[in-house]
Amino acid sequence: MKIRRQKKAQKILGFYQHNFDIRPPYTVLLDGTFCYAAIEGKVKIAEDIPKYLGSLDTKLITTQCIILEVEQLRKLKRDLHGPYMIVKQFPVHVCGHEGKPVPASSCIKSLLKKENPKKYIIASQDNELRTHIHECVTGTPVLYLHRSAPTLEKPSEKSQADPLNANKTITTHEEKTLQSLKRKLIGEEEVEPERRKKKKKNPNPLSCKKSKKVKKPQQQQQQEMKEGKSKRKRKKHKKPGAVHHHIQQEAS
């Protein structure tokens, strides 16, 4: 099972290497939510992450904004002492907010910009941040802990559609073929059936601090209303867990 997981990780990393030139030694930027989940799942970050990525000289870094945020929150929640002690062990990367810190997720977003120029792998359990990366940033591998297993997210549609080195002159037909090939390479059947029922755990307080409103495709609804379709064809989107279909979790 472990080998299968690592093979999958290598496939995903291969995609990023080929399309976005993200190659070992990797730089993993991790935040407080990830450290919190690592304690919960008894994950030894410094050992387990490089092993999972298949590159033992992986650099694990954080930023001052991230450390300061956990430090602040620690005053309110005592169980954040552990994550604080862990996150501050990692080398601090200069983020440009020195002297005027910003929230951790804003700090990470500002470092990533649109195309992740520094080629980070982001390690976070923050759903809002991960959704932002999926929707707004290309070429950014996202690592999270699935229970206690380090797991790389499948490349987003945006990354699959906009590889930096894509030949801009290729035709639509060629592009479609390329996309379907890529999907075959990365695989669509990422979700495996859950074998055990998830134990209910306390939510990660660092990733719950923001409201997570899910944007509904309102424009589409309005469009349908205009066209008078909504009364006749009201589709129910009731698939459980379909909200973040791009953050599919795998059973380990």
Q: How many residues sit in the footprint of Zn ion (CB under 5 A)?
A: 5
Among 19, 33, 58, 63, contact with Zn ion (rule: CB under 5 A): 63
Q: Is 249 in the site for Zn ion (CB under 5 A)?
A: no
Q: What's the min distance (Å) between Cβ of 9 and Zn ion?
A: 28
**Residue whose entry in the numeric block shows the structure tokens 């959704």:** 131
Torsions phi, psi for 214 (to 5 deg): -95, 125
Check residue 183 for interaction with Zn ion (CB under 5 A).
no
Which among 95-103, 167-175, 180-188, 198-206 is the span making contact with Zn ion, rule CB under 5 A?
95-103
Min separation Cβ 65 and Zn ion, Å = 3
97 binds Zn ion (CB under 5 A): yes
Which amino acid would we find at residue 190?
E
Q: State which H helix or E strand residue 123 sits in.
A: strand 120-123
Cα 3 to Cα 252: distance, rounded to the nearest angstrom: 11
Residue 77 sits in the site that holds Zn ion (CB under 5 A): no
Distance separating alpha carbons of residues 30 and 9, to the nearest angstrom: 18
Q: Does 95 bind Zn ion (CB under 5 A)?
A: yes
d(CA 88, CA 66): 9
Q: Which is nearer to Zn ion, 50 or 101 (CB)?
A: 101
Choices 1-9, 39-47, 91-99, 222-230; region in contact with Zn ion by CB under 5 A? 91-99
Q: Which is nearer to Zn ion, 89 or 180 (CB)?
A: 89
User: How do the residues of the chain divide into helix, strand and coil, expressed in percent and rounded to 5?
Assistant: 45, 10, 45
Classify strands 142-146 and 59-63 as parallel, antiparallel or unpaired.
unpaired
107 in contact with Zn ion (CB under 5 A): yes
User: Whole-angstrom Cα distance, residue 71 to residue 32?
Assistant: 10
Question: Nearest approach, Cβ of 104 to Zn ion (angstroms)?
Answer: 8
Binding site for Zn ion (CB under 5 A): 63, 65, 95, 97, 107
